[in-house]
């Protein structure tokens, strides 16, 4: 074999895996079709360090998020990656929503999130005097991170461990061979080449289902659906009226968690994202200025200071969902595929939120799958 382990996809999860496995194994390759890391979902999100509140009990999302947030905070401290443990309020703006957030609190407790506090109006006003809520859950372990700096640190550590990272090379074919796989690539100069590997880790994000299918794994339950989310920013000076994350009651089935307020490391404040499943898997990053009214109406419920012209279009991201519209919440799909007849092929599909928070925990989980396989 030309190499032992090949990781496909240099988003935040692929980079975290590269750092983890290259610390323990020689001959690790990371292949990325773009000319740099994190060019898709990993650089177009809220950059939130999630607490593990919403996810189904005993799911990978719940376990890896709760484990991953502490690993991530420790990592940021160790390597001086910019982060802020700012906390989050989940707000009820009516008595009807109070019951909903109590249910959220119980789910969180079941997931091992034991630091949530229920706040009344006075306590809310002490933290965020400019928002409206009749009650709120306060999550002190929620935060934000500079995702670009985090990915750069993962990349640096992986390279220092001996991982070879190949940018500008797109996987065009995968063939199962004796004791491994042959991978066909097309490089930035449109030159074709191929190499062999014992293990493939498919961390290709929005195209992870296509990579899986190239290897021969066809499963309609693993089809990626592109789910677009747009963000609006709160213009200065009103961005200074919010200091931490503020979330409304989430959508049914957790398709999204509502138009929420996120702060960033530079003091900016974003609203979003919304949820729109795209009819075809196209990279549609166009901003829809006409959504301003919908964003304004949604946010005004808990941001009473907001005026229509206080917000403006900011950015767009795409989530790689395997959960179809209206379906119950789907878990991460992380599987070593010996059971399907593909030993040494490790699939990571549907890696949406809380993928960033969970990235180090996911990397450790995948490393254990490799150890079982070798």
Architecture per CATH, 88-140+225-321:
2-Layer Sandwich (3.30)
CATH fold, domain 3-44+148-223+329-373, is FAD/NAD(P)-binding domain (3.50.50)
260-263 and 269-272 beta bridge pairing: antiparallel
pTM for the predicted model, two decimal places = 0.96
Contact 51, 69 (CB under 8 A): yes
Could you tell me the residue ranges of all domains in the chain?
Answer: 3-44+148-223+329-373, 88-140+225-321
Contacts (Cβ under 8 Å, ≥6 apart) of 149: 81, 82
Q: Report the alpha-carbon distance of residue 303 to residue 18 in Å, rounded.
A: 42
pLDDT at 85: 97
Q: Report the alpha-carbon distance of residue 193 to residue 189 in Å, rounded.
A: 11
Contacts (Cβ under 8 Å, ≥6 apart) of 38: 10, 11, 12, 15, 147, 148, 151
Residues of the chain falling short of pLDDT 70: 251-258, 374
Q: Report the alpha-carbon distance of residue 282 to residue 346 in Å, rounded.
A: 25
Sign of CA dihedral 274, 276, 281, 285: negative
pLDDT at 21: 98
Please give the distance of CA 251 from its chain centroid, rounded to a whole number: 18
Q: Report the alpha-carbon distance of residue 153 to residue 147 in Å, rounded.
A: 10
Structure tokens at 216: 């021969």
Q: Report the alpha-carbon distance of residue 119 to residue 139 in Å, rounded.
A: 10
pLDDT tens digits along 212-249: 999 999 999 999 999 999 999 999 999 999 999 999 98
pLDDT at 249: 86
């Amino acid at each position: 074999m030309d190499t032992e382990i090949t990781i496909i996809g240099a988003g935040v999860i692929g980079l975290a895996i590269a750092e983890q496995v290259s610390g323990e194994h020689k001959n690790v390759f990371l292949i990325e079709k773009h000319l740099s890391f994190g060019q898709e979902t990993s650089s177009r999100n809220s950059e939130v360090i999630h607490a593990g509140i919403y996810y189904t009990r005993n799911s990978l999302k719940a376990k890896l998020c709760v484990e991953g947030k502490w690993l991530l905070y420790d990592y940021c401290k160790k390597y001086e990656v910019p982060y802020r443990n700012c906390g989050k309020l989940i707000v009820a703006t009516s008595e009807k929503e109070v019951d909903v957030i109590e249910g959220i609190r119980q789910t969180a407790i079941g997931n091992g999130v034991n630091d949530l506090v229920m706040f009344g109006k006075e306590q809310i006003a002490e933290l965020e005097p400019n928002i409206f809520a009749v009650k709120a859950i306060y999550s002190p372990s929620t935060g934000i991170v500079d995702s670009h700096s985090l990915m750069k640190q993962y990349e640096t550590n992986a390279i220092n461990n001996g991982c070879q990272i190949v940018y500008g090379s797109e996987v065009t074919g995968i063939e199962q061979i004796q004791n491994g796989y042959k991978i066909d690539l097309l490089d930035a100069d449109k030159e074709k080449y191929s190499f062999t590997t014992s293990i493939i880790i498919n961390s290709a994000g929005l195209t992870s289902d296509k990579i899986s299918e190239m290897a021969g794994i066809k499963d309609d339950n693993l089809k990626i659906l592109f789910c677009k989310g747009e963000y609006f920013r709160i213009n200065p000076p009103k961005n200074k009226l919010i200091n931490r994350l503020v979330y409304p009651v989430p959508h049914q089935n957790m398709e999204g968690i509502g138009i929420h307020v996120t702060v960033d490391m530079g003091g900016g404040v974003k609203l979003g994202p919304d949820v729109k499943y795209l009819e075809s898997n196209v990279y549609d990053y166009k901003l829809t200025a006409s959504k301003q009214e919908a964003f304004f109406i949604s946010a005004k419920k808990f941001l009473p200071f907001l005026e229509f012209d206080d917000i403006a279009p900011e950015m767009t991201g795409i989530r790689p969902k395997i959960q179809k519209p209206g379906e119950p919440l789907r878990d991460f799909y992380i599987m070593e595929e010996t059971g399907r007849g593909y030993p040494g092929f490790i699939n990571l599909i549907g890696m949406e939120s809380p993928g960033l928070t969970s990235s180090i925990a996911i990397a450790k989980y995948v490393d254990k799958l490799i150890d079982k396989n070798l």
